[in-house]
A and B are shown apart, each in its own frame.
Chain A
Amino acid sequence: MRKSEAELEEERLLVEAAQQDRAAFDKLYDRYFDQIYSYVYYHCGNREQAEDITAATFQRGLENLPNFRWRGVPYSAWLYRVASNLLSRDRRRPPWLELQESRPDEGEEEPDAAWLRHEASTELHDAIRDLPADQRQAILLRFFAGMRNKEVGKVMNRSEGAVKLLVFRAVSNLRQALAKEGEL
């Protein structure tokens, strides 16, 4: 998940192209739609809300494109930041209502293995759901987006040390919750 130097350079060139030509934004959109949508979806657990927040994120990303300056923070991290801010403001309904029955298509798999994996994943999602919002956000940015603490800090507007503590608390809470469920 973590971006290589080559990927960052490619991203920088795509941003510059999109700043020159609106049509080039489509490439950025296609590159990051699934990432942002998934991140929002795992955070709020609702497809409709995920779609709305993803749309608002890319709308802001497009509107603010001329003002974006590459200062060591990738455009994708900035999109995560916008999505995070929108998530914290948009708490319209209880989260995680539909996550368990709307899992992504995972292709062919043995039924037993698929069931066991689904159960384990469900327990994990339940445990994540019970975390405070900031711990959930830090865990998703670390493990889903593959960000370093410093990048997570920029997205969440926290210091690197605060992110370390958030992740530490989150992992401790998850260990306890999953141990109770007999997962680990």
Chain B
Amino acid sequence: MSHKNADRLSRAIDAYLSGDVPTDADHLGDVFDALAAGFPEVTHEDARERVRRRLAGVTPSPKSPQVLLVERAAEELDLLRRRFIEDEYVPWPTLVGGAAVAVAAIGLAIWLRRRGIGSEVLPEA
């Protein structure tokens, strides 16, 4: 695995998606063409209307800082779970960062709760 090759490919894709002709990955032109044309936007009017009806009763709900922090922690813990329970590649620096964010978020949420900050922004029941 060459990081230089990955960089070169990345530049070629950026050039291709910008409409320029990629000069350093000409041999991949067919792959790019196939990928760019292979996924047309799917229009499904029935699904659009069904989902619109499902959303009709949903209202925006402002959340307290504690809830936002707990959600953030849950996202990071999910990242750890995917790395260790499922077969998904997550680089170690991202894992360590995620664990640190999760711990910090939970700690901050507990601190805010003890200070009584945030409950006033919860939506009215």
Contacts and interface: CB of A to CB of B under 8 A. Distances in A.
Nearest to B61: A63
Please tell me the size bucket of the interface on B.
Answer: 35 or more
B26 interface: no
Contacts of B7: 164
A2 B36 contact: no
Interface residues of A, dominant DSSP: helix
A178 B41 CA distance: 22
A62 B58 contact: yes
A154 interface: no
B47 A37 contact: yes
A87 B36 CA distance: 22
A165 B7 CA distance: 8
Interface in B37-88: 38-44, 47-48, 50-52, 54-55, 58-63, 68, 75, 78-79, 82, 86-88
Contacts of A116: none
B47 A42 contact: no
Given A47-B47, A89-B78, A67 B42 contact: no
A157 B94 contact: yes
A51 B59 contact: no
B22 interface: no
A149 B10 contact: yes
Given A120-B34, A174-B31, A35 B93 contact: no
B125 interface: no
Contacts of A88: 78, 82, 86, 88
Contact of B39 (A143, A157, A164): A143
Interface string A132-160: 11100001101110101100000001110
B17 interface: yes
A144 to B, nearest CB: 4
A167 B9 CA distance: 8
B13 A161 contact: no
Contacts of B50: 51, 55
B73 to A, nearest CB: 13
A148 to B, nearest CB: 7
A113 interface: no
B104 interface: no
B49 to A, nearest CB: 10
Interface string A47-64: 100110011001100111
Interface of A: 1-2, 19, 22, 25-26, 29-30, 33-35, 37-38, 41-42, 47, 50-51, 54-55, 58-59, 62-67, 85, 88-89, 104-106, 120-121, 124-125, 128, 132-134, 139-140, 142-144, 146, 148-149, 157-159, 161-162, 164-169, 171, 174-175, 178, 183-184
